[in-house]
Amino acid sequence: MLTQIINGRILTPQGWLKDGSVLICDGKILEVTNSDLAVIGATVIDARGMTIVPGFVSMHAHGGGGHDFTEATEEAFRIAATAHLKHGATGIFPTLSSTSFEKIYQAVDVCEKLMKEPESPILGLHIEGPYLNPKMAGSQYDGFLKTPDENEYIPLLEHTSCIKRWDISPELHGAHDFAKYTRSKGIMTAVTHTEAEYDEIKAAYAVGFSHAAHFYNAMPGFHKRREYKYEGTVESVYLTDGMTVEVIADGIHLPATILKLVYKLKGVENTCLVTDALAYAADEGNEPIDPRYIIEDGVCKMADHSALAGSLATMDVLVRTMVKKASIPLEDSVRMASETPARLIGVNDRKGALSKGKDADIVILDKELNVRCVWSMGKVVPGTDKLLHK
């Protein structure tokens, strides 16, 4: 039985403890207190001068470390998940881009196996597509896009319970029946790659679309057709009380002003930070092998410069961007990376906050908000032990 005490400035659900202690044992948090703890045999980690925050919950990432989750192999899942884990993502929902249902079934089998492993950071599967509006999906999904087919998705969702989130375009024929079904299964259903305007978003929310994927990206804002002006998906989501959002807060997909606006209008409880990371995230700067993509200006783009293809960010980058570029308080930035996604996707009974009884998923940040150490289920993640050897 390994008992550890971590001392420092701690973010709790009730706010900051300036000089607090976290007691962890057997992968769980036993106590969070502002008192000095003295436990016989416990290892004491001195993180004073640093910040102790809950592990981040990454619910939209396509890959990392040189691998894409759509490869649907154990190797790809393990390497990509580990790449993000080293940057503080102690809970991960691997995201599949639009692909064949054969691949989805393969990914389901891998995900189910890894979820059963003790102390696995993989908490479930996220599918984006293939039910996407081709006008808004970009060329990277050519050959896979289609309208929702209940003969495909119902057998899949009866086959597995590991799928926790599914994103599609709500204006497609059959999308409402899809959302009603996924809602009945407790699956987070999100609008994505869409042209939907207010009436369509309002109707989509009513049948089960509760979330907007990569808000602002792959969806129109206020626009004009001939002589008349129309609200876009963006304004429609703002006007739909109860619909939650996520933002790719890398400072490139959205400027700081828009990040501030989302924070102001939707708030901490309804906003998540996501990476939307591709395989090239946390991959030591390796260039894409796929000729469709280029790395430029710190982001992955389509080679023809027609659109952004995805980010290179990790969860710690998002928190730093929100604090340093968008001037959002650290506590709120962390909550949008941990507490809010954990609650929205249904794992807040064990993830997303530093409180008694929850998993000992802990990230230590230095004064520049760089990761110094990560604990996942009470164990230090290899390669993140800078604090222990300072």
Per-residue pLDDT of the chain (390 residues; tens, 9 = 90+): 578 999 999 999 999 999 999 999 999 999 999 977 778 789 999 999 999 999 999 999 999 999 999 999 999 999 999 999 999 999 999 999 999 999 999 999 999 999 999 999 999 999 999 999 999 987 567 789 999 999 999 999 999 999 999 999 999 999 999 999 999 999 999 999 999 999 999 999 999 999 999 999 999 999 888 999 999 999 999 999 999 999 999 999 999 999 999 999 999 999 999 999 999 999 865 667 678 788 888 888 888 888 888 899 999 999 999 999 999 999 999 999 999 999 999 999 999 999 999 999 999 999 999 999 999 999 999 999 988 765
* Distance, CA of 352 to chain centre: 12
User: CATH number of the domain at 56-345, please?
Assistant: 3.20.20.140
pTM: 0.96
Distance CA 92, CA 77 (A): 10
- 2-53+355-380 against 56-345: fold identical: no
Residue positions forming the annotated binding site: 128, 193, 214
Segments making up each domain of the chain, as ranges: 2-53+355-380, 56-345
For residue 382, whether the previous peptide bond is cis, meaning omega lies within 30 degrees of 0, is: no
CB 273 within 8 A of CB 337: yes
**Residue in 68, 167, 250, 276 annotated catalytic:** 276
Distance CA 157, CA 85 (A): 28
Element (H, E) at 60: strand 56-61
Dihedral angle sign, alpha carbons of residues 282, 288, 290, 291:
positive
What separation in angstroms does the CA of 128 have from each of 18, 151, 260? Answer: 41, 18, 26
Identify whether 276 is a catalytic site residue.
Answer: yes
Residue positions forming the annotated binding site for Zn(2+): 128, 193, 214
| CA-derived radius of gyration, the chain | 21
Distance CA 211, CA 263 (A): 15
Cα atoms in the 13 Å half-sphere on the side-chain side of 50 = 23
User: CATH number of the domain at 2-53+355-380, please?
Assistant: 2.30.40.10
Which letter does DSSP use for residue 97 in this model? P
